[in-house]
Structure 1
């Protein structure tokens, strides 16, 4: 493509150069003609108004008096001929002596009427530009005519002397223009990678189709315009981040995505979505062209992972319960074999009453799925040396929250609290309806979080794959709950002394 453009430019420059040169030569010809008209008129008028001219015309031998004067004036002024004649066209002077006494061949009618005029006429010396003017004596009587002229041949010589200069300037300008075009062609070839216009169009169409069809969001920022606008923003990126139509600046992105550092499968919260973000530089050789940010929607997957985590916790708890039950049954059988039947009955009854009490309390306070989850969490916490209890009178059944959301909320808050409390600590789950809102409160004996830590944990999620996530140990839990609170018009708050995280949802904000 760049070669084609180069040759097109050179062809255009040649055409422009030729047309320009012709125009300059033509203009020079017109200028020379205008100058000739002015000079011939001036010479003819000066001679006609010179008193000696009228005097010579009345003398017995006008030629003898006038010819030396006209020859001198013609040589000095560059005229090819100066003719002084009688009103009847009879010549007294001429550069060709053989023409003296003959009849002037040009137009004289207007001069006889007192006008001074110029014309282009083919006379005895060939085509010429001539001026004709009347000669009057001191009494105002017309006594003759004066004609001064320059041949076309002389004027052509003047124009030809200009042609080499014009051609030289045109050639220099053409050489400079071709050199600049060559530089432009090389630059264009580098920028287009040697692709033809058809290839570029096809590449753009494919590029545009792929961007619209991508299931991932993509945002590209150029290195030259780091803060925007973005060079590329596809439809999925606008949907995932709820971006407006039109140019997108870096400031339009969520705060956690505005940086320029590399990201690898980092989880971010944006509005009601859980997103996995990757950001990598685009480089050609050692030159950085910009950065590419890709986004994958992980919202539904995260909800499924939350439910799977609850089921996994329940399965672990059941496995632990089965193991404990086997131990207890072994103890009962051993007591019976030792003949201590009453002790065996009392031990079995006590264990059954304790387990049934926990189940009965939770069954009245929560959804069956949440009850199973709490039983599993209580068992897991007990194995870690943490006591988990449900407050007397807690109501985890009502309210606007769905069973799936309840699993996510209870599971994450209890896990966070158990981690914060540590071995020997305690965790309490409470909740219910009060003053037109439903709340879920989880208290623990841990140190709690500062406002800055809480804001950070709610503002974006952290995958436990990263060291930063292991330090905080809270993963996506608080971010998901904060997202739920915003979606339902509620609040998620944290307090200290004791450490408490509370989710409040207004009644009537049930999900679809």
Structure 2
């Protein structure tokens, strides 16, 4: 194989394969370097140890009184030197004259011959060590002076250990170091294989280029989609969110890694995100938005990895739906009024046919007067066209259900410059809930509406003759899902609360004997006409 092809082939390996190869190379280089360093250190240590031992033996023999007494007598010194040599483990002990003539030697044939090596420092009274090649080969030796009582140098003692003996010991220690290095290499290779296997499972066998490309695609998708996307782990911590989710939920910049309960989300939404349960198309309200939330649990085998949450903004759709409901209510009211007018017209025609013209005129005039009075009352008090139309429609709806919708005598309202959709949401839902409560109360069923505006505040008050709300229920009434029907689908009052907060107002719930909802919305002076 052409060695130039190797880097290209390695680039095509998976990330786990590249990491395994890299780890094996690193471990191999580390083991080889450690073994070489250990061998060098062992050689230096053995040489130093040999020199120290030779010096200690040479000084000990030189300081022996029996050596000074027997100088020149090889027959006495040779057995002594050999006994000491065997006991200390050195390879030779040579006792010599100051001129270098040997009195002792491991090879008796060398006795009387001249010592091979340096003796100058010892003749000057200093013990020294050196590596020198003599009759026994290269050796690490020490030379020490033998002094008389007056301090004069009378003879010399040399003790040494051959380099071959040191090399034998060194080869044993190097073999041990190599064995330990191989064990380390094997353990490192096994560990690298296990790490590589785990990495291969986690990366699904993909290479760095594939992982980088996948990251770029996923990052581009996350930033491109308008819908909100969240990843929440099994402990309820936010692990990922895209730009859409940050905008829809108003998340802080450091949201990643924090528990969803610490992100300032509404309690119901935070509870859903931390529950680890799958949900489909749930409606949740934030401070200014209506969101459709879907939660899907992500599993690996039987283990839950967390949840994927998608968010869709239905604020505009919900507002349009509210307007559509209002328009539908107006249409129903018109149909009911048309049906009632047809009945009255038939009555008038029948009276005319019977020749009772005066009764027909009186009946028609009375009905016309009642209808016109209601219209004049509403249009005269409320000059905000959207609210006036809403009140007329709700009056007809309430009448169909047997509820009297009364406009407070002190109601007076011009164009206040607030968003008509929010006003329809607030007033329409309050009247709908009041009618429902009045129907379930003690007859006669009645709903009183009061609208007032001054230079700073717009006041909406809706009271019903129903059973009323206790303090606990009043606090829960604006929670998503609350309803007197108990089906968990209530959304009207929750949207009222959201609209009031969006306009910067406040809402109070009182009793008297039914429920009284009072909304106060701030106005700018220039918003009044």
Q: TM-score, normalised by structure 1?
A: 0.90
Measure the CA separation in 2 of the matches of 1:322 and 1:503.
Answer: 34
The Cα of 1:511 is off from its aligned counterpart by 8.2
Structure 1, 162-171 or 248-257: larger mean CA deviation: 162-171
Kindly indicate whether residue 314 of structure 2 is the aligned counterpart of residue 298 of structure 1.
yes
The Cα of 1:380 is off from its aligned counterpart by 1.8
1:467-497, Cα deviation, whole Å (9 max, x unpaired): x685379833322322333334432111121
Contact 2:290 2:313 in 1 (8 A): yes
Contact 1:283 1:290 in 2 (8 A): yes
Kindly indicate whether residue 277 of structure 2 is the aligned counterpart of residue 258 of structure 1.
no
What secondary structure is seen at the aligned counterpart in 2 of 1:471?
Answer: coil
Distance 1:474 1:500, change over 3 A: farther
Per the alignment, residue 307 of structure 1 pairs with 323
The Cα of 1:309 is off from its aligned counterpart by 1.6
1:101-156, Cα deviation, whole Å (9 max, x unpaired): 33222111111111001011222322210001111223333222111111110111
Kindly indicate whether residue 211 of structure 2 is the aligned counterpart of residue 200 of structure 1.
yes
Per the alignment, residue 238 of structure 1 pairs with 246
The Cα of 1:376 is off from its aligned counterpart by 1.8
Structure 1: stretches of 5+ with no match in the other structure: none
How do residues 405-484 of structure 1 correspond to structure 2 at under 5 angstroms?
405-422=422-439, 425-433=445-453, 436-458=456-478, 460-462=479-481, 470-471=485-486, 475-484=490-499
1:248-287, Cα deviation, whole Å (9 max, x unpaired): 3222232112221443322222212222222332212211
Measure the CA separation in 2 of the matches of 1:473 and 1:34.
Answer: 90
The counterpart of 1:127, out of the listed 111, 133, 138, is 138
How do residues 176-255 of structure 1 correspond to structure 2 at under 5 angstroms?
176-223=187-234, 225-226=235-236, 228=237, 230-247=238-255, 248-251=258-261, 252=263, 253-255=265-267
1:282-323, Cα deviation, whole Å (9 max, x unpaired): 212211111233322222222222222211111222222223
Distance 1:162 1:511, change over 3 A: farther
Per the alignment, residue 358 of structure 1 pairs with 374
1:398-457, Cα deviation, whole Å (9 max, x unpaired): 546333332222211111111111175221211213695321111111112233333223
Per the alignment, residue 9 of structure 2 pairs with none
Measure the CA separation in 2 of the matches of 1:408 and 1:510.
Answer: 23
Contact 1:74 1:80 in 2 (8 A): yes
Measure the CA separation in 2 of the matches of 1:115 and 1:473.
Answer: 105
Structure 2: stretches of 5+ with no match in the other structure: 1-14
Per the alignment, residue 77 of structure 2 pairs with 66
Per the alignment, residue 338 of structure 1 pairs with 354
Distance 1:474 1:280, change over 3 A: closer
Kindly indicate whether residue 523 of structure 2 is the aligned counterpart of residue 507 of structure 1.
yes
Measure the CA separation in 1 of the matches of 2:129 and 2:216.
Answer: 69
Per the alignment, residue 349 of structure 1 pairs with 365
How many residue pairs were aligned?
501
The counterpart of 2:53, out of the listed 22, 27, 39, is 39
Contact 1:266 1:276 in 2 (8 A): yes
Distance 1:456 1:197, change over 3 A: farther
Contact 2:381 2:411 in 1 (8 A): yes
What secondary structure is seen at the aligned counterpart in 2 of 1:303?
Answer: helix
The Cα of 1:15 is off from its aligned counterpart by 2.0
Per the alignment, residue 99 of structure 2 pairs with 88
Contact 2:456 2:525 in 1 (8 A): no
Contact 2:70 2:76 in 1 (8 A): yes
What secondary structure is seen at the aligned counterpart in 2 of 1:41?
Answer: helix
Distance 1:266 1:453, change over 3 A: farther
The counterpart of 2:302, out of the listed 258, 263, 286, is 286
Distance 1:200 1:143, change over 3 A: same
Measure the CA separation in 2 of the matches of 1:25 and 1:509.
Answer: 93
Distance 1:45 1:488, change over 3 A: same
How do residues 324-403 of structure 1 correspond to structure 2 at under 5 angstroms?
324-366=340-382, 367-399=384-416, 401-403=418-420
Distance 1:281 1:396, change over 3 A: farther
What secondary structure is seen at the aligned counterpart in 2 of 1:165?
Answer: helix
1:61-119, Cα deviation, whole Å (9 max, x unpaired): x3333222222222222222222222222223222334333322211111111100101
Per the alignment, residue 25 of structure 1 pairs with 39
C-alpha RMSD over aligned residues = 2.6
Contact 2:455 2:523 in 1 (8 A): no
Measure the CA separation in 1 of the matches of 2:99 and 2:321.
Answer: 122
Q: TM-score, normalised by structure 2?
A: 0.87
What secondary structure is seen at the aligned counterpart in 1 of 2:112?
Answer: coil
Structure 1, 265-274 or 331-340: larger mean CA deviation: 331-340
Structure 1, 410-419 or 8-17: larger mean CA deviation: 8-17
1:341-394, Cα deviation, whole Å (9 max, x unpaired): 333322322222221111111111222232222222222222222222222231
The counterpart of 2:127, out of the listed 94, 111, 116, is 116
Measure the CA separation in 2 of the matches of 1:194 and 1:19.
Answer: 32
What secondary structure is seen at the aligned counterpart in 1 of 2:70?
Answer: helix
Contact 1:51 1:137 in 2 (8 A): no
Measure the CA separation in 2 of the matches of 1:187 and 1:202.
Answer: 21
Kindly indicate whether residue 505 of structure 2 is the aligned counterpart of residue 490 of structure 1.
yes
